Structure 1
Amino acid sequence: MKIFLKLLLTAVAVVVLSQMLPGITVANYGTAILVAVTISLLNMFVRPLLVLFTLPVTILTLGLFLFVINACIILLVGNLITGFAVSGFLTALLFSVLLSIFRSFLFSLLKEEK
């Protein structure tokens, strides 16, 4: 149940960021949910491989290369989903940073008190 709520909150963040950033377009809410699912799947399966293969560069840049990996994942989602478009690398970089901030804020609202 909590996974579905997180996916819906991510979809809401995608829609809000598409309204804020001029280089991001989302066709409809269904596309935003599909983008959220695709981002989650790519972060689960592809991102660890990219981090492993680029480990020397990541260490050399003190972890800043992880931002590039996140932007590449956003660009990949833009190529995979037809109703989601990203205009360029810098837009994808800014979108990934803002999406991480939005998601961390929204997920903090889901924390249960112990």
Structure 2
Amino acid sequence: MRFLLNLILSALSLYAVTRMYSGVNFAPGTEWPQVLLAALVLGVVNALVRPLLGLLSLPITILTFGLFTLVLNGLMLWLTAEFTALDVNGLGAAIVGSVLLSLVTWVLNAILDALAIDRTRRL
């Protein structure tokens, strides 16, 4: 159940970013199943590819005091766009999109957690 909720939350976040920022968007005519697939692919890419790239880029991440992590996040979004209906207008747009995606996901998670706390207080 939690996996499905996280997938839907990721899909909503991704969709919100495409509406907020023109550098990241879905192909015309994209339906919700493709948005869910893009969120699933992003999760798989983050789980499988990002740790390896993070380890390989550890020296540059240390030299940049962790700022290279923003580039890694952008690369993961750009890689996701290669396999889904998501369109990203270059690496710069992917970096900005990944920052926005992180912020939107953080806000939605906070709202969801607040609703869960309120629901348990009523019981």
What do you get for the CA RMSD once the two structures are aligned? 1.4
Please, which of 90, 108, 111 is the counterpart of residue 106 of structure 1?
A: 108
The letter for the 1-side match of 2:97 is F
| Paired position in structure 1 for 2:73 | 70
Pairing 1:45-60 to 2, within 5 Å after superposition: 45-60=48-63
| Higher fraction of helix | 2
TM-score, structure 1 normalization: 0.91
Whichever of the two has the greater Rg, that structure is 2
Per the normalisation by structure 2, the TM-score is 0.85
Q: Distance in 2 between matches of 1:29 and 1:51?
A: 31
Any stretches of 5+ residues in structure 1 without a counterpart? none
- Whole-angstrom CA distance in 2 between matches of 1:28 and 1:94: 24
Q: Per-residue deviation at 1:78? A: 0.7
Per mean C-alpha deviation after superposition, the further-off stretch among 46-55 and 83-92 is: 83-92
Q: How does 1:8-47 map to 2 (within 5 A)?
A: 8-26=8-26, 27-47=30-50
SS at match of 1:107: helix
Q: Which ranges in structure 2 are unaligned for 5 or more consecutive residues? A: none
- Identical aligned residues as a percent: 34
Q: Deviations over 1:59-84 (max 9, x none)?
A: 00000000000111111011111x21
**Residue equivalent to 2:5:** 5
Length, aligned pairs only: 113
What's the offset of the Cα at 1:15? 1.1
Deviation string 1:8-34 (CA, Å, 9 cap, x unpaired) is 011111111111211222222211111
